[in-house]
Amino acid sequence: MWQSALAHALLLDHDGDRVHADQADLNGRQLAEGARSMARTFALLIAEAPAGNKQELGQKIEIYETMSFLPSEMKRSRTASMVELAMHFDGVDLKRPNAAICSARGSNRPWKCYLSSDRISS
């Protein structure tokens, strides 16, 4: 979802002066900022959950790289920095054998953690 929102933001920002009558007469820049906000929210939701395998960590790396290379994104928000921080912590946790991984899968108690080394393998 974050890729879709970010793509919409880039497209809307391309023609920022155009007024969209079907969108309450907002211009492209205003709509693009809303789409960027949605992309940041989805990126933070993905970054918040601990990575349980290398694919999930790879998704966080992709988010960070995409957002950090956008012009002025680092000035607009701290989202890329927060994703980077989560990415580094997950990288350390995935290297550690028998890392404690919290998961709500199969449990109605999301705060319950269990030790697992089999989830670390990709």
CB 46, CB 84: distance < 8 Å: no
Q: What is the pTM for the complete model shown?
A: 0.71
The pLDDT of residue 73 is above 90: no
Q: Round to whole Å and give the CA distance between 64 and 17.
A: 29
> Mean of the per-residue pLDDT values for the chain?
80
What pLDDT is attached to residue 96?
67
Q: What local confidence, expressed as pLDDT, does residue 92 receive? A: 82
pLDDT band at 29 (very low <50, low <70, confident <90, very high): very high
pLDDT confidence band for 70 (50 / 70 / 90): confident
More confident residue, 110 or 97: 97
pLDDT at 99 over 60: no
C-alpha to C-alpha distance for 52 and 50, rounded to whole angstroms: 6
DSSP string, 22-74: GGTTEEHHHHHHHHHHHHHHHHHHHHHSPP-SHHHHHHHHHHHHHHHTSTTHH
Name the residue type at position 73. Answer: E
